[in-house]
Chain A
């Protein structure tokens, strides 16, 4: 971390002093709003890399809970995003956040009392559409572990109720500080996985697959429910067998009854991302796959290609772990029927399928 920027409005929040103490030695600058950070980042030769080397502590003046921005035409999981921060210290070629924020700056919201007030009120109301929440949409959930106690507080809060599950999604292995917490199986530790080749080519500063699986194994041993996200799956010659092997490797390490779900999603991206990947990851071939514009405006692999991959990997997961819920992130009925043999609508919808999986594995009441 090269510099810590603190918004003047955030300076008195307790989380700031915790982070400052854990980043001792990092130069600090107090700012009145984000403009100066944005200018500094935009002036760098690689603004995206620059945005990962600074941390901006700010107050979230909007809502912390937001529905996942699914689109029509594809089945959405109905996940609720808990918006704790933005961007990431890891550097993945395919990361949509590179094109999503203008500019992308590592940001952490520090008004945690507001967050917990909003979250507690929502949980107390027990809305049917807020049974699965997670912090891993706009950032990696566990990169904040060395800096903040937010995850620990969240784990404890969810552990004290019985109708919603928190999903912490990561490509890291930073689970140690969470293991002894009273999670009551209401926090799912979720690991993004990929093949060794895809990780090497496209994921800078992430943990190797083996380390992620070791962290998952350790988490399961401490009673945490788990999830695995094969997302984004990258098509390349021979990838099918490698993804199948990843699936088998997972279930050699963790018991299937500890796994709430496994998601599969192939690489999809806003068209703006392509030149960014080409510039920042010149060795990566991911933008040059056989992509077509999807019904949501994002580029995605030509449907028969992704269906074929899904079919093989889903079969490998079912063979290794028949009881585990497998789902597709943002796919249509045809893909579901061909790769899994049913449409989510036949089982009450994808959100319902996942709520039931959370009920079964995490014990939430639905």
Chain B
């Protein structure tokens, strides 16, 4: 598609029209610094909007940067209002993909622009060409669906608070529940596996107790944990998970806490450990002693006898 080069007044560009937007909104200030230093190297692409103005096809961040720099006009390749949508969309995606690695939300918006309404096999070929990536239709379909998620989920993806898979999961939840989870994930910055664990355990509690997921996660107990953790994300994450686990598995958690108390009373020397059967299901306990020398082993020779005298042991091994 060959488009004529023109100088267009920035005031005529409708930046609210995001029809062809691929790029994330952030990043304009860095770009402004670059343009201030070396000028604008590539013209933007605009399309006449039929109302005397222009919509942006490619160059959202450049135009934001130029506005911040106070430019009045911008060199632009200009398409007519009748120009082919698919051709302009392909151009917008290709230019963005060629200029930098796209974020996941940018990829999602890019896929949404490529051949909407056509079969996914066809759209996949377009995406492979425009985005220069190997893809499969199912993945692209999921990727595109991100662009239709509520704004707070898209923001959580952009800020890397939630990953692709979790975003899709949040998108299937009632919006109020998803919002609470997205906020919590944004605060705690958990890995995907920890997010899944937290979601699974909260969902189980919600279904068991017949309360909404948001009530499980937005209760006073979790609010207090976040408050008391004083911005220490690691501590807050651990305490939130412990709180939920105690709620989900009250008897097992009580047994674990009881065991920990009794094990502490055993006053095992450094290098020795007592492990109960996993989940207290089997009957076999494990006493382990780590030594580096015969002398260390000799120093432990009375350990078993002293344990047998310890009243805490009879609570661990009745």
Contacts and interface: CB of A to CB of B under 8 A. Distances in A.
Interface of A: 73, 278, 285, 287-290, 292-295, 300, 302-305, 332-334
B208 A302 contact: no
Interface in B259-299: 278-283
A290 B208 CA distance: 10
Contact of B252 (A292, A295, A332, A334): A292
A98 B54 CA distance: 58
26 contacts: A278-B207, A285-B207, A287-B207, A288-B205, A288-B207, A290-B249, A290-B250, A290-B251, A292-B249, A292-B280, A292-B281, A293-B278, A293-B279, A295-B281, A302-B249, A302-B251, A302-B252, A302-B279, A302-B280, A303-B280, A303-B281, A304-B251, A304-B280, A332-B282, A332-B283, A333-B283
Given A290-B248, A292-B280, A302-B252, 18 more contacts: A73-B282, A285-B208, A287-B207, A288-B204, A288-B208, A289-B208, A290-B249, A292-B279, A293-B278, A302-B251, A302-B255, A303-B280, A303-B281, A304-B255, A304-B280, A305-B251, A332-B283, A333-B283
A198 to B, nearest CB: 16
A237 to B, nearest CB: 11
B281 A294 contact: yes
Contacts of A303: 280-281
A288 B206 CA distance: 9
Contacts of B255: 302, 304
Contacts of B208: 285, 288-289
Nearest to B250: A290
- Residue in B250, B279, B280, B283 whose Cβ sees the most chain A Cβ within 10 Å: B279
Interface in B44-64: none
B253 to A, nearest CB: 9
A288 to B, nearest CB: 4
B276 to A, nearest CB: 12
A290 B252 contact: yes
Nearest to A282: B207
Contacts of B282: 73, 295, 332
A296 to B, nearest CB: 10
**Secondary structure dominating the interface of B:** helix
Interface in B146-168: none
Contacts of A332: 282-283
Contacts of A300: 281
Nearest to A278: B207
A333 B281 CA distance: 11
Contacts of B251: 290, 302, 304-305
Size bracket, chain B contacts: 10 to 19
B177 to A, nearest CB: 15
B208 to A, nearest CB: 4
A290 B254 CA distance: 12
Nearest to B208: A288
Nearest to B278: A293
A303 B278 CA distance: 11
B45 to A, nearest CB: 45
Given A302-B249, A302-B252, A287 B204 contact: yes
Contacts of A302: 249, 251-252, 255, 279-280
A284 B165 CA distance: 27
A329 to B, nearest CB: 16
A292 to B, nearest CB: 4
Contacts of A295: 281-282
A304 B279 CA distance: 11
Closest 7 CB pairs of A and B: A292-B279, A288-B208, A288-B204, A302-B252, A288-B207, A302-B251, A290-B249
Interface in B12-43: none
Contacts of A293: 278-279, 281
A49 B249 CA distance: 32
A292 B252 CA distance: 9
Contacts of A288: 204-205, 207-208
A300 B278 CA distance: 13
Nearest to B252: A302
Interface string B209-232: 000000000000000000000000
B251 to A, nearest CB: 5
Contacts of A292: 249, 252, 279-281
A73 B281 CA distance: 10
Contacts of B281: 292-295, 300, 303
A134 B129 CA distance: 61
Nearest to B206: A288
Contacts of B205: 288
A172 B282 CA distance: 36
B92 to A, nearest CB: 38
A83 to B, nearest CB: 30
Contacts of B280: 292, 302-304
Nearest to A289: B208
Contacts of B250: 290
Nearest to A294: B281
A82 to B, nearest CB: 32
A345 to B, nearest CB: 14
A226 B208 CA distance: 36
B37 to A, nearest CB: 55
B207 to A, nearest CB: 5
A304 B252 CA distance: 9
Contacts of A278: 207
Contacts of A304: 251, 255, 280
Nearest to A308: B251
Contacts of A334: 283
Contacts of B278: 293
A287 B248 CA distance: 12
- Residue in A73, A290, A305 whose Cβ sees the most chain B Cβ within 10 Å: A290
A300 B252 CA distance: 12
- Residue in B205, B249, B251, B278 whose Cβ sees the most chain A Cβ within 10 Å: B251
A249 to B, nearest CB: 28
A310 B89 CA distance: 67
A69 to B, nearest CB: 19
A312 B275 CA distance: 30
A305 B281 CA distance: 11
